[in-house]
Amino acid sequence: MQNFDYWTPTRLVFGRNAIEKLPEALAPYGRRVLLAYGGGSIRKIGLYDRVRELLAGCEVYELAGIAPNPKFAPSVLEGIRLCRAHAIDVILAVGGGSVLDCCKGIAGCARSEGDPWDIITGKQPTTGAVPIVDILTLAATGSEYDNAAVISRTETNDKVAYFSPLVFPAVSILDPTYTFSVSRRQTAAGTADAMNHVMEQYFVGDSTMLNDGFCEVALRSLMANCRKLLANPEDYTARAEMMLCCTYGCNGIYALGNAYGGWPCHGMEHALSAFYDITHGEGLAILTPRWMRHILSEATAPRLAQYGRHVFGVGEGLSDWEAAEKAIQATYDFFASIGIPMHLREVGIDESRIDEMAAHVVADWPDMQTAWVPLGERDIAEIFRASL
Amino acid sequence: MQNFDYWTPTRLVFGRNAIEKLPEALAPYGRRVLLAYGGGSIRKIGLYDRVRELLAGCEVYELAGIAPNPKFAPSVLEGIRLCRAHAIDVILAVGGGSVLDCCKGIAGCARSEGDPWDIITGKQPTTGAVPIVDILTLAATGSEYDNAAVISRTETNDKVAYFSPLVFPAVSILDPTYTFSVSRRQTAAGTADAMNHVMEQYFVGDSTMLNDGFCEVALRSLMANCRKLLANPEDYTARAEMMLCCTYGCNGIYALGNAYGGWPCHGMEHALSAFYDITHGEGLAILTPRWMRHILSEATAPRLAQYGRHVFGVGEGLSDWEAAEKAIQATYDFFASIGIPMHLREVGIDESRIDEMAAHVVADWPDMQTAWVPLGERDIAEIFRASL
């Protein structure tokens, strides 16, 4: 078991009508609120109007139109400008992981000195941050419970991870009913994203019985609840359990004391979505079984076999190698069964930029070389090709 | 799934040599430190000397001799006096759950107005608290990661739970090597305590697949690691996993969104240890299988059967009732196998005060009446008698 230093000060307000606690959640920070959101979905479900009612006593400025794979320009830059121009006390992020990630970038840059891109990339330190309160509308990324953000810079095809202990949300308001209207496609992609978060912490060199069991039940729960939601998108219990599984995704709680495995599928997927702006969860689902196949060896087979036996119930009585192969196939089959396009060509990615993307992964994600199974540029390109 | 409002701002610094971060952990609060501990065990393992070295730049006052089942008088009262007399900036608790609980009582009362016992019992509010940093030496209670304390008042046989969001430890330093010297008896009792914490959150009216799996693996892990430690008390990995399982015990993370089950075994055990000052974990181990037997019914059998099948691997192919009976026996057998005295008479409790204790439980623990299976005074007395 590895040493760790864990701290997650975010308060989770979870359940139907959790939004009633919004005024109390904002009150400690002040009256000048930056309300940040994406497209029109929060208007469609009536959430925008309810939020504006609850903000009645506040001075509200808006940052709308935050895109998926949130962009440094214009959204982060415009948010920084608004925070500074209006001396914003607190950012209220309403949306999914992209809105939250964008707001984390804004929060840290607005109260730190230096060039914003240097702050995002860690070249200059985050020395302060505007407090963040969020209302989640999509179960997927876990950004509501961690201190990380993924920000894209379109002109250079960079998609980088920004971290600071100062950007943990202060309060995350999690009402599963806001996810009732999430489409089948986004529900499936969110499930794949959350499953991959668990796997990135599970496929590591050192783990515990406790963490293995926690990760394995999280994977079973995500799959079972995804199936329920594709049949009935308004199944409250399934939306709620899915949301909690996703919330735990990236703050480390699934695997405290486990070795760090490098998050290789995330490293690779970030290049795909930086170059082609695809849906992150779909990119992960496409890559995951190909990554498993690529790293299958005598050394990794026992772990993949355990995964197959405990998560999918396949491989009992078989050798570890055979069980691992069944586990990889079961992973692929599950993602296909929930309607995810399982080939890069289906999401608009062809062979033309594979080598360029592989080079980008190596440059943007140094952990590839220290991953559970280290991967070089050539390995990455092979995994991309196998995913076509 | 139930609504919940969850917040655990404690930072966990975990692993070998975690104590090196002590100066950094204390620094934000100030130089005037109340060093609180129990008996001589922290001297025996060299921890006292190391702590004093690391406190070299601080002004240190000491509160020693905090007893198991920590007492309002003298320990809590003396701690309050020291905090006020010396304008203490931060309390450093070094020990197990009893030391920590005592320090929580001190921390809240020292900075709140009103009679200390009224504050402990919630009749007057906790409006401030001295920050707490702790160094844990016993894996059991989970007090290092929650906002609760159990305080006993000898003259009235009261043992009450004190809660305040202000008494979460700021930083918990968790080095499993400090638990190498914990005796077989205390290792077993700590395991039983932690197992019961999980069960109190597992035997409830509404739970999720995620929580069930998390609780079930925690129980399996606690049993497996306890067995390893009875064979080899210096097995680092087993001490570490045991410590983490215990740390999660009482802050709610095992079961976010589960219904509240009333913690009936804790309600009953508090009377035993208030009247007879027995070891909390042993009292819980004795009561748990008798409680299960008492509440076994057509309604509860499926849950007990699931517990038997998933935690002990007993009851496959049997009816739920038969599986539940096997689960209850397996629970008893496990506790007996780790050397816990499984009858109240063996820990010095006879029939004489059973009715008096049952009345105390009803008075001190109102949740008995809203528990998963509500229990009245007569039920409680029956469970006590069955435990003799």
Q: What is the pLDDT of residues B204-261, one digit of tens each?
A: 999 999 999 999 999 999 999 999 999 999 999 999 999 999 999 999 999 999 999 9
Q: Searching chain A, which residue's CA lies closest to the CA of residue B7?
A: A11
Contact residues on chain B for A244, CB-CB shorter than 8 A: 1, 208, 210, 256-257
**B1 interaction partners in chain A (CB closer than 8 Å):** 15, 176, 236-237, 240-241, 244
Give the torsion sign (CA, A60, A63, A68, A70).
negative
Nearest to A119 by CA among A72, A66, A74: A72
Nearest CA-CA distance, residue A121 and chain B, Å: 26
Name which of B3, B21, B210 is nearest A241 (Cβ-Cβ). Answer: B210
Q: Report the alpha-carbon angle B173-B178-B181, nearest 5.
A: 160
Quote the distance between the C-alpha of residue A374 and its chain's center: 22
Residue A164: partners with Cβ closer than 8 Å, 6 or more residues away: A104, A108, A126, A129, A147
Report CB contact under 8 Å: A12, B256.
yes
First to last CA, chain A: 38
- Say whether A182-386 and A11-178 share the same fold: no
Beta bridge partner(s), residue A34: A61, A91
A197, A222 contact by CB (below 8 A) = no
Q: What pLDDT shows up at residue A173? A: 98
Per-residue pLDDT of chain A (388 residues; tens, 9 = 90+): 999 999 999 999 999 999 999 999 999 999 999 999 998 899 999 999 999 999 999 999 999 999 998 999 999 999 999 999 999 999 999 999 999 999 999 999 999 999 999 999 999 999 999 999 999 999 999 999 999 999 999 888 888 899 999 999 999 999 999 999 999 999 999 999 999 999 999 999 999 999 999 999 999 999 999 999 999 999 999 999 999 999 999 999 999 999 999 999 999 999 999 999 999 999 999 999 999 999 999 999 999 999 999 999 999 999 999 999 999 999 999 999 999 999 999 999 999 999 999 999 999 899 999 999 999 999 999 999 999 9
DSSP strands (E only) in chain B = 4-6, 11-14, 32-37, 59-63, 90-95, 132-136, 148-153, 158-163, 171-174
Cα(A204)–Cα(A162) distance, integer angstroms? 23
**Contacts of residue B256 in chain A, CB cutoff 8 Å?**
12, 14, 244
User: Across the interface, do B241 and A4 touch by the CB < 8 Å criterion?
Assistant: no
Report pLDDT for B362: 95
A177 touches chain B (CB under 8 A): no
Closest partner residue to A241 among B1, B217, B224, by Cβ? B1
Using alpha carbons, list the distances in angstroms from residue B36 to A156, B24, B86, B100, B308.
56, 19, 14, 9, 41
Give the model confidence (pLDDT) of B63-100 as tens digits: 999 999 899 999 999 999 999 999 999 999 999 999 99
* Tens of pLDDT, residues B152-172: 998 888 888 999 999 999 999
Put simply, whether A210 touches B (Cβ < 8 Å) is: yes
Return the structure tokens found at B217. 């693996």
Q: Is A212 on the interface with B (CB under 8 A)?
A: yes
CB nearest to A15's CB, from B3, B13, B244: B3
Asked if B214 and A209 come within 8 Å (Cβ–Cβ), the reply is no
pLDDT of residue A157: 85
Helix (H) or strand (E) holding A280: helix A280-295
The complex scores an ipTM of 0.96
Count interface pairs A-B at CB distance under 8 A. 129
**B219 in contact with chain A, both atoms CB, cutoff 8 A:** no
Q: Which residues of B touch A15 (CB under 8 A)?
A: 1-4, 257
Q: Which chain B residue shows the shortest CA-CA distance from A247?
A: B256
Q: What is the pLDDT of residues A160-219, one digit of tens each?
A: 899 999 999 999 999 999 999 999 999 999 999 999 999 999 999 999 999 999 999 999
Q: Do A210 and B218 touch (CB under 8 A)?
A: yes
Residue A379 is predicted with a pLDDT of: 98
Asked if B5's CB is within 8 angstroms of A12's CB, the reply is yes
pLDDT of residue A158: 86
Facing B241 at nearest CB: one of A13, A208, A218? A208
Q: What are B140's two structure tokens?
A: 């059991």
Find the residue in B nearest to A253 (Cα): B253
Would you say B308 and B330 are in contact if contact means Cβ atoms under 8 Å apart? yes
CA distance B387 to B132: 38
Tokens for A69, please give them: 């794979």
Predicted confidence at residue B158, as pLDDT, reads 85
Specify the pairing of strand B90-95 against strand B132-136. Answer: parallel
Residues B190, A174: Cα–Cα separation, whole Å: 35
| Segment holding A93, helix H or strand E | strand A90-95
Other Cβ atoms within 10 Å of A28 Cβ, number = 12
How many CB atoms lie under 10 A from the CB of residue A310? 17
Kindly list the domain boundaries of chain B, sorted by start residue. 11-178, 182-386
Q: Does B227 touch chain A (CB under 8 A)?
A: no
In sequence order, which ranges of B149-208 are alpha helices (DSSP H)? Answer: 184-202
Provide φ and ψ at B11, rounded to 5°. Answer: -90, 130
A244 inside 8 A of chain B by CB: yes
Q: Do B2 and A21 touch (CB under 8 A)?
A: no
Q: Do residues B287 and B270 make contact, with C-beta atoms less than 8 angstroms apart?
A: no
Element (DSSP H or E) covering residue A160:
strand A158-163
Q: In residues, how long is chain B? A: 388
Best CATH choice for the domain B182-386 from the list 3.40.50.720, 3.65.10.10, 1.20.1090.10, 1.20.1440.230: 1.20.1090.10
Q: What residue in B sits closest to A216 (Cα-Cα)? A: B213
**Residue A174 pairs with which residues in a beta bridge?**
A14, A136
Could you say which of A210, A217, A256 has the minimum Cβ distance to residue B221?
A: A210
Contacting residues of A for B16, CB less than 8 Å apart: 3
Cα-based distances in Å from A367 to A122, A284, A373, A377, B198 = 15, 17, 10, 12, 36
Q: Would the pTM of this model clear 0.95, i.e. be above it?
A: yes
What confidence category does residue B40 fall into, taking pLDDT thresholds of 50, 70 and 90?
Answer: confident
Q: Give me the CATH code for the A11-178 domain, please.
A: 3.40.50.1970
SS3 B55: coil
Residue A57 near chain B (CB below 8 Å):
no
**Cβ separation of B245 and A13 shorter than 8 Å?**
no
CB B161 within 8 A of CB B149: yes
**DSSP 8-state symbol, A259:** P
Q: Which of residues 290-319 of A touch B (CB under 8 A)?
A: none
Closest CA of chain A from B10, distance in Å: 6
Contact A244 B5 (CB under 8 A): no
What residue in A sits closest to B18 (Cα-Cα)?
Answer: A3
Half-sphere exposure of B22 (CA within 13 A, CB side): 29
Residue B184's identity, in one-letter code, is R
Rounded Cα distance between A112 and A132, Å, is: 15
If you count them, how many residues does chain A have?
A: 388
Whether the CB of B198 is below 8 Å from some CB of chain A: the reply is: no
Taking CB atoms and an 8 Å limit, are B1 and A212 in contact across chains? no
Q: Is the Cβ pair B220, A213 closer than 8 Å?
A: yes
Contacts of A224 in chain B (CB under 8 A): 209
CA atoms within 13 A on the CB side of A40: 1
In angstroms, what separates the C-alpha of B175 from chain A's closest C-alpha?
Answer: 9
Of A11, A210, A244, the CB nearest to B256: A244
Average pLDDT, chain B: 97
Position B186 scores a pLDDT of: 96
Instruction: Inspect the interface and report whether the beta carbons of A11 and B11 lie closer than 8 Å.
Output: no
Q: What share of chain A is helix, strand, coil (3-state, %, to 5)?
A: 55, 10, 30
Mean local confidence (pLDDT), B349-357: 97
What pLDDT score was predicted for residue A159? 85
> What pLDDT, on the 0 to 100 scale, is given for residue B111?
98
**Total Cβ atoms within 10 A of residue A260:** 18
CB contact under 8 A, A209 and B5: no
Q: What is the DSSP letter of A8?
A: -
Q: How would you label A58-88 residue by residue, b for 16+ Cβ within 10 Å and e otherwise? A: bebbebeebbbbbbbeebbbbbbebbeeeeb
Q: CA-CA distance, B32 to B24, in Å (whole number)?
A: 15
Asked if B4 reaches chain A (Cβ–Cβ under 8 Å), the answer is yes
**Mean pLDDT value across residues B31-45:** 95
Query: Any CB–CB contact under 8 A between A8 and chain B?
Result: yes
Measured CA to CA, the distance from residue B253 to residue B10 in angstroms comes to 13
Chain A partners of B22 at a C-beta cutoff of 8 Å? none
Phi first, then psi: give them for residue B182, nearest 5 degrees.
-65, 135
In chain A, which residues have their Cβ closer than 8 Å to the Cβ of B220? Answer: 209, 213
DSSP string, B295-356: H-STTTHHHHHHHIIIII---TTS-HHHHHHHHHHHHHHHHHHTT---SGGGGT--GGGHHH
CA distance B202 to chain A (A): 15
Q: What does DSSP assign to residue A6?
A: E
Q: How far apart are CA A367 and CA B242, in angstroms?
A: 30
